[in-house]
Amino acid sequence: MVPQPAPAQLDRMFFALADVHRRGMLDRLSRGPASVSELAGPLGLALPSAVKHLAVLEQGGFVASEKVGRVRTYAIRPGSLQAMEDWVAKRKQLLDAQFDRLGLYLAGKGKDPA
């Protein structure tokens, strides 16, 4: 079982994905590493804005950066979505169990007590 992230880290992860520009950057990075300008251009972002968005993604644990000379390149961190997937799966499992119990209860209500 993968250890659950601290609540503050989970908050940073959900916050990072709450913005359309950051999700767009992750979509682009899913095809491979890219520089800040390669990420900013298609989204119509100024470089300073792109850097701020990338910092949020890095704090959320989704990307890692490497600077070579004057160029900073970003790449997706492998397995970065796993903690969120595990959190969602756990909640889904709990909800499914509740609905299963409700279904059994409702099925029993329609039966003749004789």
pTM (2 d.p.): 0.76
Residue 99 CB neighbour total at 10 angstroms: 10
* Domains observed in the chain: 7-109 (1.10.10.10)
The pLDDT value recorded for residue 90 is 87
DSSP state of 114: -
The pLDDT value recorded for residue 1 is 54
Q: Quote the strand ranges of 10-109, DSSP E.
A: 34-35, 63-68, 71-76
| Residue 111 confidence (pLDDT) above 70 | no
